[in-house]
């Protein structure tokens, strides 16, 4: 049986919080209809599919790279690290890995990069959803820990509200100091 793992990430662009990746091997006996890119789904739909994926996938893994790792390695290498951590959590070894995007994270499995794969490959869509929901929930926790930045609303992305809060309050420990807008506020 071919075990195809989909891999995607959430949080490469934000100024705050970790980058999160997920790897999913779907169960061919339990198909999940309607999977697509997490950014195309409402929060309610993402939460619904998150639960469906957790309940029905053959296996899945979620990995993250911390703000410190992002600042030390750079965002691309930290994303690859999170992807490797996600793959390492799979309870079955994939025969092939499909990765959303064009850059190869260099897994020890046969790998195919697919631009906009989260729109066309259900296993990548599932990974996209797990990564996004996991990261969004982390950002809600960081919002409670570091109030005043609006992290729960904008999830760490570079909005005007976030920029104003950075200028007013300075950077919190969850901000990526290697990102120019944060660095400029230090």
Rg (CA), the chain: 17
- Which pLDDT tens digit goes with each residue over 83-125? 999 999 999 999 999 999 999 999 999 999 999 999 999 999 9
Look at residue 55 and tell me if it is in a domain.
yes
Is there a domain that residue 62 lies in? yes
Tell whether 167 is covered by a domain.
no
Tell me whether residue 176 is in a domain: no
- pTM of the predicted protein model: 0.96
Range 107-116, long-range pairs (CB < 8 A, 24+ positions):
107/83, 109/5, 116/37
Query: In the chain, how many domains are there?
Result: 1
**pLDDT at residue 33 tops 80:** yes
The boundaries of the domain holding residue 12 are 4-145
If one compares 183 and 5, the residue with the highest pLDDT of the two is 5
**Contact call for residues 117 and 100 (beta carbons, < 8 A):** yes
pLDDT tens sequence across 43-55: 999 999 999 999 9
| Nearest Cα to Cα of residue 8 among 136, 88, 97 | 97
Closest CA to 60 of 30, 34, 39: 30
At 106 the pLDDT is: 97
Query: Within 10 A of 24 (CB to CB), how many other CB atoms are there?
Result: 33
Arithmetic mean of pLDDT, 72-76 = 97
Query: Is 174 inside any structural domain?
Result: no
Domain annotation covers residue 172: no
Domain membership flag for residue 26: yes
For residue 111, the domain's CATH number is: 3.30.420.10
How many C-alpha atoms does 118 have within 13 Å on its Cβ side?
A: 23
Give the confidence band of 1 by pLDDT, cuts at 50, 70, 90: confident
Q: Is residue 94 part of a domain?
A: yes
């Amino acid at each position: 049986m071919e075990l195809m793992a989909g891999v995607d990430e959430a949080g490469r662009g934000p100024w705050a919080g970790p980058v999160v990746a997920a790897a999913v091997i779907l169960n061919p006996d339990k198909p999940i209809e309607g999977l697509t890119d997490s950014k195309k789904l409402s929060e309610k739909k993402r939460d619904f599919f998150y639960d469906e994926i957790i309940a029905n996938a053959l296996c899945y893994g979620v990995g993250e790279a911390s703000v410190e790792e992002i600042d030390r390695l750079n965002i691309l290498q930290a994303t690859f690290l999170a992807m490797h951590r996600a793959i390492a959590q799979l309870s079955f070894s994939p025969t092939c890995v499909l990765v959303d995007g064009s850059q190869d994270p260099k897994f020890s499995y046969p790998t195919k990069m697919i631009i906009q794969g989260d729109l066309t490959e259900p296993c990548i869509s599932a990974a996209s959803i797990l990564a996004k929901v996991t990261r969004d929930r982390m950002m809600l926790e960081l919002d409670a820990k570091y109030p005043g930045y609006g992290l729960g609303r904008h999830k760490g992305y570079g909005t005007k509200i976030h920029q104003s809060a950075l200028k007013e309050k300075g950077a919190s420990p969850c901000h990526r100091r290697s990102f120019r807008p944060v660095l400029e506020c230090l």
